[in-house]
Amino acid sequence: MTDPRQRAALIKAKAHELGFLACGVARAGFLEEEAPRLEQWLRQGKQGTMAYMERHFDLRLDPTKLVPGARSVISLAYNYFTPPQQVDPEAPKLSTYAYGRDYHKVVKKRLKPLVAFIEEQFGAVDMRAFVDSAPVLEKAWAERAGIGWRGKHTNVIRQGAGSFFFLCELITDLELEPDAPATDHCGTCRRCIDACPTEAITPYGVDGSRCISHLTIELKGAIPEEFTGKMAGWAFGCDICQQVCPWNRFSTPHTEPEFSPKAELMGLSADEWHGMTEVVFERIFEGSAVKRTKYTGLRRNLDLLRRAAE
């Protein structure tokens, strides 16, 4: 099959068959518009302690440096929306994406049949799969591939689906017909900006050093005292900007078994959270993205929430 349009259509159909929420294609090339934005964001220190964002600047902007000869970037979305299920309304909260098994492993596993299908259909192709695991500006590619637009909170939003989905990419030398880029539908809405308790969000920008997700996950030292009382009960990550977004009224529950939360986790009371031992932490969060912050990090977050409540 030599027609780029037919090839793209075949891949998209297979992606949907495999359970992906959306699949789109962008032409591989240097991200000219992103270069000055990324440079300015880094110069302003908006990356917080995420020093890895400062590395591989050229790779982030040019997929052909990751896959020489790349012609197409296939962007995919994988739904993870789970209606809030924590039984105790006073319990410390964790971001919805961390309810189940670590998404890096789950989504990578779901990509493998698609990779195999492409190789089976089109023969020897040079291709690499990425699930938030390399210097790839996944939001920019999702926007270019028509998956959705970057909202004022910088998360990608898809009409009719919201923003509770993971992004992943296949960068390949296979020529595919590109999709039209997504257009912005935030309008005059600023709910995410107004709802952020740490004032981390500006229109179409996030100061990572002030973001609750950064403070509870990426930051390795003590959380600055200025944020005491501003964490809104979040112990790992934060969903506020997504929860208030009108587009997420269209979110539908995922169908991924490995994203289903453990009943024990959802049933933890506030006292059980604050009294959690390392042994309990290891058992409850086995295979979870929460392991990223380690027990010491979660303990730090919980202690901050308790001090704020006293």
| 132 annotated active-site | yes
- Would you list the domain boundaries of the chain? 4-82+101-172, 191-309
* pLDDT for 134: 72
Whole-prediction pTM value? 0.92
Output the six-digit token pair for 196: 């952020």
Share the mean pLDDT of the chain.
Answer: 92
What proportion of the chain, given as a percentage, has pLDDT over 70?
A: 92
Question: Cβ-count burial of 279 within 10 angstroms (0-12 exposed, 13-18 middle, 19+ buried)?
Answer: exposed
| Band of residue 300 on the pLDDT scale cut at 50, 70, 90 | very high
Query: What is the reported pLDDT for 11?
Result: 98
Q: How far apart are the C-alpha atoms of 11 and 18, rounded to whole Å?
A: 11
- Angle, helix 4-17 to helix 103-122, in steps of 10 degrees: 140
DSSP 240-272: HHHHT-GGGGG------GGGSPPHHHHT--HHH
DSSP strand pairing (72-79 vs 165-172): antiparallel
Task: State the catalytic residue, choosing from 88, 132, 179, 184.
Answer: 132
User: Do 28 and 63 contact (CB within 8 A), yes or no?
Assistant: yes
pLDDT for the residue 39: 65
